[in-house]
Structure 1
Amino acid sequence: MKLQMRTLLSVSLAAALAGCSLAPTYERPDAPVDAAYPTGPAYKADGSQAAQGMSTADIGWRDFFGDPLLQQLIELSLANNRDLRVAALNVEAARAQYRIQRADLMPSVGVAGQESAQRTPADLSPSGRATTSHSYQVGAAMSAWELDLFGRIRSLSDKALESYLALDETRTATQLTLIAEVANAYLTLRADQELLSLTRDTLKSQEDSFKLTQQSYDQGLSTALDLSQAEVSLRTAQRNLSQYTRQAAQDRNALTLLVGQPMSPEISAALEQATKLDDGMLPTTLPAGLPSDLLARRPDIRAAEHQLKGANANIGAARAAFFPTISLTGQAGTASASLGGLFEGGSGAWSFVPQITVPIFAGGSLLAGLDLAKVQKNIQVAQYEKSIQTGFREVADALAGRGTLDDQIQAQRLLVDANQRAYDVSDQRFRQGIDDYLSVLDSQRSLYSAQQALVDTRLARLSNLVTLYKVLGGGWTERTATAQATPATGS
């Protein structure tokens, strides 16, 4: 009898594990973007090629961000940032949920012991006397194990697995975003501190100009308009000094939040000294590859595809709900009327209770559930396609920035040089008594404005390189796998 019970359970287990799946065969939707990135005047080829098949996504963040202080900030953020920590905990929760769902594929077996006592009054007892009976049972029990003949549990398990994988990709995407945010916050701090230094120099010049104009006005050599214009320039510089002082402080606060802990005295001192943007601190030769590469390199696109696969598996579970459900409940062990007889010969006992439930009428809920599963899949298809389109647009925008910002910086440098020459000439003509001081003030304001714009444009170029690195999938690994793949640093 035990052999028959064991054989029956083995056959049931094999049937459950070999159950068919009613989920549709998954087919990846076609990418709704062009096969190549845009071309034209804004998209200049940089001649960079992936070394031995290496893509930008394979470039380690330590190799891309060569600044030692920035590397230290990124390392701290990866260890302490709360958003990244929450993303990692969400992955752990999803992994546990998947294990719970997967466990339904196997029977749940436990050991149970039971004692029961019953008193029968005399008028109900066959012997005409009141009796008390006892029974004892101990053994292994299996409770309502569903045979997954039509793949319902398997489909739900696959859905849980895809949700777990999607959250794991989301954690990677959070890491890429965090690294880019730390880099941009660091670059912004350096730019604002360079603007602060420039404003201090400009303020000193404006103070000297105002004093000179005041003296000239007192001597009757300058007009009240000259004096007023000089004061306007002075007050503007004072306002800008407060503005950039505030911005630099807020930049440091933003970095502290991203890093996830207070800055050490050594890092704080190093940040105070970071008063200049280094135009060559980031590589410029990043291979863009093809749009199809984004499907494998972008964690947000991979996460969207896992969600789509999960929705596809959910259709299988909805279809399986139309079919019969077979569950098994059983117990095998020993039973006796006395506690001491539990382990005596001939005390073996077992029970086996199979149950089948056939859906006949559910008020349309099964059809509605299947329709819902199909609609949810279509939603995930649209979300997946949108993630591809978003990735394509982000890369194209960053490539356009790389193709134009260098020229913009060159033009802005020439503009600064031209304004410097105009200021020198106007100052010389004023000292020679040819022009009034208004021309000096105008050229001084134009020079200061051009210098500010140059710093902003240089920052935009470096931030665009950070963005290009991120949108191409860079930042998921610390070190480049192959040394040859490390890009050259631009000058």
Structure 2
Amino acid sequence: MQINHSFIAIAVACLAAGCTFQPNYERPVAPVAAAFPASGVYATQPAAAAGDSANGRAAVDIGWREFFADPRLQRLIDIALVNNRDLRVAVLNVDAARAQYRITRAQLFPAIDAKGSNSVQRLPLDLSPSGQTISREYQVGLSASWEIDFWGRIRSLKDQALEQYLSTAQARKAAEISLVAQVANQYLQMLAVDDLLKITDDTLKTAEASYSLTKLQFDNGTGSELDLRQAETVVEQARANREAQARARAQAENALVLLVGEPLPDDLPAGRSLDDQRLLTDIPAGLPSDLLTRRPDIMQAEATLRAANANIGAARAAFFPKISLTSSFGTASPTLGGLFKAGSAAWTFAPQITMPIFEGGQNLANLDLANVQKRIEVAQYEKTIQSAFREVADDLAARATYDGQIGALERTTFAQSRTLDLSQLRYKNGVDSYLQVLTAQTNLYTVQQSLINARAARLENLVNLYVALGGGWIANTGDTPRPADAPAMDGAPSAPTAASSATPAKAAG
């Protein structure tokens, strides 16, 4: 008897202390260098133009409305944050994870049900102690059941569900930030194609004029067929390029419509050209350790790791006795009319303890599985950090080199333009053949396309670096960051219900 009292005392003390068998969580050491690369190709980071500086602020503190100055792009991002279907799914996944957490959490409390029953039984006369072959019983009352969580099994499952919820909330945050970048990059691609179409139209117009001239000379017998066919080749190549670019322009707009989630409105504000986007170019990279609290994908991976850690506690608790209480209270009577008469009260109280003795190795296998899953999540968490480090390092390398590449292409464009002018002059004076003119014209067209593509890639690099450093979650600089599980941006945020504003909503920031 003394043993039973000691066991009960230990169990009550454990319950009061809220003990579980979860391992103490320790964040894995980030498997990356302590700082981003700063020498060699990374050394020459661009300075900001007047009015386009981040002023030393981190990306997470810069609103995307300040980073993107184009009013047309700002409006497109606004619409996408309301209508994009992938983002809607991400928000609904958060709601589903919140509901799952509440389901698991409810197991910590007693379940109380009202019930009524009627049973009819017939026994042979020689087996009926009352001498009646048919007996009836009516019952009405309340029943309650409760598993006393002495060893923290349910609390561990609750913690696991909470961390899965937090992981889903961070995944939603990552989806929203990614959407901002996707809309911006797709918009920049459209502007780049527009510029490509413009130089193609200019090239085609010049080529057609040259072709008309060579054809006139050929028809008059003063020009060769070789010059004519070479001029015709340039014209047809420009026409083919224009068709390809027109197709690319239409497909780029279709991709933007998909991201925005609705047809592009007719009342969009006027936008800026590709060369006038004026994105912030000097956002500081900070330290790799800053990414742990700034990048939602890393916080998502860590929450998933914490969930795996909590699951070990539930697997360990399965080795210990499970204690549950079942009781009922109400009235019982052989007749319906006697249910509420004096003396009809009925109750039961049935505590139960279940001690695992032989499970065929199931509990041990579950614990092994939980430990392996945690090691998997550790590796996934470390890989997420490494991928984030690589993204930022790649973007820093690109930011340091694009200005030099664009400067070289601009000088090449000027040189090719002068080459074309001189080739035309030498051809008119009979010094060179028409092939020199066509070669210069083709080279100028090629370098003009390369220059436009490089300018677009530079802007996309700045967008990607802004997002890689954790930017894009707040709309305006100075805004208080929303929790990761905040409602979708559909105008005024909806007020949380009493159920949804419980622990998860406070913990998912």
Q: TM-score, normalised by structure 1?
A: 0.89
Residue 416 (structure 1) aligns with: 413
What's the CA shift for 1:230? 1.1
Task: Within 5 Å, give how 1:104-253 maps onto structure 2.
Answer: 104-126=107-129, 129-130=131-132, 132-143=134-145, 145-253=146-254
**Map 1:247-262 → 2, pairs under 5 A:** 247-262=248-263
Larger deviation, residues 172-181 vs 199-208: 172-181
CA RMSD of aligned residues (A): 2.4
Q: Residue 102 of structure 2 aligns to which amino acid in structure 1? A: R
Answer with 425-434 or 242-251: which moved more: 425-434
2:25 is paired with a residue whose SS is coil
CA drift of 1:130 comes to 3.0
Matches within 5 A, 1:374-389: 374-389=371-386
Structure 2 counterparts to residues 294-443 of structure 1, below 5 A = 294-443=291-440
Q: State the AA in 1 paired with 2:219.
A: D
Is residue 194–residue 275 contact of structure 1 (8 Å, CA) maintained in 2? Answer: no
Match of 2:83, as an amino acid? N
Shift, 1:58, TM fit: 2.2
In the alignment, what sits opposite 2:90?
A: 87
Worse-matched range after superposition: 296-305 or 355-364: 355-364
Secondary structure, counterpart of 2:114 in structure 1: strand
Which whole-Å CA distance do the structure 2 matches of 1:393 and 1:126 have between them?
83
> Structure 2 vs 1, CA of residues 431 and 46 (structure 1 numbering), >3 Å: closer, same or farther?
closer
Cα distance change, pair 169–482 in 1 and its aligned pair in 2 (3 A): closer
State the shift of 1:428 in Å.
1.5
* Partner in structure 1 of residue 501 of structure 2: none
**Counterpart-to-counterpart distance in 1, 2:382 and 2:289:** 12
Q: Quick check: 1:283 aligned with 2:283?
A: no
Q: Which amino acid aligns with 1:113?
A: G
Amino acid of the structure 1 residue aligned with 2:330: G
In 2: Cα distance, 1:160 partner to 1:84 partner: 22
2:364 & 2:117 partners in 1: Cα distance? 43
Is contact 2:323–2:354 with CA below 8 Å preserved after alignment? yes
Match of 2:67, as an amino acid?
A: F
- Structure 1 residues 50 and 202: alpha-carbon distance in aligned structure 2, compared to 1, 3 A threshold: closer
User: 1:241 Cα deviation (Å)?
Assistant: 0.8
SS for the counterpart of 1:182 is: helix
C-alpha separation between the residues in 2 aligned to 1:454 and 1:460? 10
Corresponding residue for residue 4 of structure 1: none
Deviation at 1:344, TM superposition (A): 4.4
Q: 1:20: which partner in 2?
A: 19
- Distance in 1 (CA, whole Å) between partners of 2:420 and 2:208 is 17
Deviation of residue 64 (structure 1)? 1.3
Counterpart amino acid of residue 247 in structure 2: R
Q: Residues 200 and 241 of structure 1 are in contact (CA less than 8 Å); yes or no, is this contact kept in structure 2?
A: yes
Closer, same or farther in 2 for the Cα pair 1:21/1:47, shift >3 Å? farther
Question: TM-score, structure 2 length as denominator?
Answer: 0.86
CA–CA distance in structure 1, aligned partners of residues 478 and 194 of structure 2? 36
Counterpart AA for 1:309: R
In the TM superposition, residue 426 of structure 1 has moved relative to its aligned partner by 1.3
User: 2: distance between equivalents of 1:194 and 1:370?
Assistant: 61
Does the CA contact (< 8 Å) of 2:160 and 2:310 recur in 1?
yes
SS of the residue corresponding to residue 140 of structure 1 reads strand
Cα 1:257–1:337 shift into 2, 3 Å? same
Provide the rounded CA distance (Å) in 1 between the counterparts of 2:206 and 2:12: 87
On the 8 A contact 1:184/1:466 being kept in 2, the answer is yes
2: CA distance between counterparts of 1:236 and 1:83?
40
C-alpha separation in 1, matches of 2:72 and 2:272: 13
Contact 1:190/1:274 (8 A) holds in 2: no
Give CA-to-partner distance per residue, 1:331-386, whole Å, 9 cap, x none.
12333444454444544332111111111111112111111111100000000000
- In the other structure, the counterpart of 1:488 is none
- Change over 3 Å in CA distance of 1:68–1:274 after alignment to 2: closer
Residues 1:56 and 2:59 are matched in the alignment: yes
Query: Is 17-26 or 244-253 further displaced after alignment?
Result: 17-26
CA–CA distance in structure 1, aligned partners of residues 387 and 410 of structure 2:
34
> 2:138, 2:333 within 8 Å by CA — same for their partners in 1?
yes
Amino acid of the structure 1 residue aligned with 2:199? L
More deviation, 206-215/58-67: 58-67
- State the Cα distance separating 1:223 from its structure 2 match: 2.7
Task: Say if 2:256 is the partner of 1:292.
Answer: no
Task: Compare 274-283 and 289-298 and name the one that shifted more.
Answer: 274-283
Unaligned runs of 5+ in 2: 1-9, 481-509
What is the letter of the counterpart of residue 292 of structure 2?
L
Deviation at 1:274, TM superposition (A): 6.0
Aligned to 1:36: 35
Q: Is the 8 A contact 2:54 2:282 kept in 1?
A: no
Amino acid at match of 1:69: R
Aligned length: 466
- Cα distance in 2 for partners of 1:280, 1:406 equals 15
Q: Distance in 1 between matches of 2:125 and 2:435?
A: 123
Q: 1:327 and 1:50 mapped to 2: Cα distance?
A: 60
Conserved? CA contact 1:13–1:147, under 8 Å: no
Given that 1:15 and 1:147 are in contact with CA atoms closer than 8 Å, whether structure 2 keeps it comes out as no
Deviation of 1:443 (Å) = 1.0
Post-superposition Cα deviations, 1:419-452, rounded to whole Å, max 9, x if no partner, equal 1111111111222222222111111111111111
Letter in 2 for 1:237: A
For the residue of structure 2 that corresponds to 1:27, the secondary structure is coil
CA contact (8 A) 1:199 1:237 kept: yes
Identical-pair percentage: 55
